[in-house]
């Protein structure tokens, strides 16, 4: 199901099929799901129904369902991700939409936005709209867990990285370089993908907004959250915002 105006950039348009291969060894989705479950047990112990905004291929959702017994739906702008997530989590509902404008007409005990997906909103205006959209989908007493992207002080640009996948029938080499353009982290990815029948060269550019902690707090408050806590470590060292709506909402 497609919802909202799709104005968010489709950054993974070339690499959806490569995503799980690239992150299978470098990111522990199961361990992060355990951390999420711990946060929810402490902050919102009655939480059962979750919405994962920017769900990707459903790796967090699958671990939260199979290992911790939650019910999880997802939202993403990449239809290729949603197809994989739906197959991975057949009991969940996965919706296509822009995180700054989606309206599912559903309520959840907790809304998650992980792996720095919030950075893809790019601007402060859209950050506030995303906060409002997330708030709109919280049931009374619910909580939002939002993992931020880097801040203007921590993202310098100028870095180059190499990630490789070396499997018997598949080789992937992903190189990246980055710049700071105004308040945007601009990251170019180029891939060489080798299979028995061909070698492909793919290219993507990802743009993520660089927001300070103060700007994140202000956007969450403007979006309808009042009780906002920031855990500086979070799941991966990037921090985690735990936000509850105003009690009068």
Q: How confident is the model at residue 9 (pLDDT cuts 50, 70, 90)?
A: very low
Tokens of 66: 């199979």
Task: Answer whether 174's CB lies under 8 Å from 189's CB.
Answer: yes
What pLDDT does residue 7 have?
A: 39
Average per-residue pLDDT in the chain?
94
**How far is it, in rounded angstroms, from Cα 74 to Cα 61?**
8
Backbone angles phi, psi at 199, to 5 degrees: -120, 125
What pLDDT does residue 51 have?
A: 99
Burial tier of 151 (Cβ tally within 10 Å: 0-12, 13-18, 19+): middle
- Its pTM stands at 0.93
Q: What mean pLDDT do residues 166-195 have?
A: 97
List residues bridging with 198 in a β-sheet.
Answer: 195
What pLDDT does residue 10 have?
A: 52
Instruction: Assess whether pLDDT exceeds 70 at residue 3.
Output: no
Q: What mean pLDDT do residues 58-78 have?
A: 98
Q: How confident is the model at residue 249 (pLDDT cuts 50, 70, 90)?
A: low
Q: What mean pLDDT do residues 121-146 have?
A: 98
Q: Report all structural domains of the chain as residue ranges with CATH numbers, in order of start.
A: 2-14+26-151+211-245 (3.40.50.150), 160-209 (2.20.130.10)
**How far is it, in rounded angstroms, from Cα 209 to Cα 123?**
6
Q: How confident is the model at residue 66 (pLDDT cuts 50, 70, 90)?
A: very high
pLDDT in tens, 22-39: 999 899 999 999 999 999
Please state, for a pLDDT cut of 90, what percent of the chain lies above it: 92
């Amino acid at each position: 199901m497609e919802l909202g105006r799709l104005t968010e950039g489709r950054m993974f348009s070339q690499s959806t099929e490569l995503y799980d291969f690239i992150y299978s060894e470098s990111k522990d989705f199961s361990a992060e799901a355990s951390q999420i479950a711990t946060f929810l047990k402490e902050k919102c112990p009655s939480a059962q129904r979750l919405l994962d905004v920017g769900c990707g291929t459903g790796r967090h959702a699958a671990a939260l369902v199979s290992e911790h017994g939650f019910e999880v739906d997802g939202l993403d702008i990449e239809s290729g991700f949603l197809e994989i997530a739906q197959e991975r989590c057949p009991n969940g509902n996965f919706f296509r939409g822009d995180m700054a404008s989606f309206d599912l007409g559903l309520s959840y005990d907790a809304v998650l936005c992980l792996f720095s997906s919030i950075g893809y909103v790019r601007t402060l205006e859209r950050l506030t709209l995303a906060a409002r959209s997330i708030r709109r989908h919280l049931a009374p007493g619910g909580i939002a867990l939002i993992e931020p992207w880097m801040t203007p002080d921590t993202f310098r640009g100028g870095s180059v990285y190499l990630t490789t996948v070396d499997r018997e029938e598949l080789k992937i080499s992903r190189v990246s370089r980055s710049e700071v353009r105004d308040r945007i982290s601009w990251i170019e990815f180029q891939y060489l993908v080798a299979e028995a029948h061909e070698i492909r060269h793919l290219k993507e550019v990802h743009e993520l907004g660089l927001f300070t902690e103060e700007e994140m707090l202000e956007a969450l408050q403007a979006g309808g959250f009042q009780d906002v806590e920031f855990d500086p470590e979070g799941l991966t060292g990037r921090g985690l915002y735990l936000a509850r709506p105003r009690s009068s909402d």
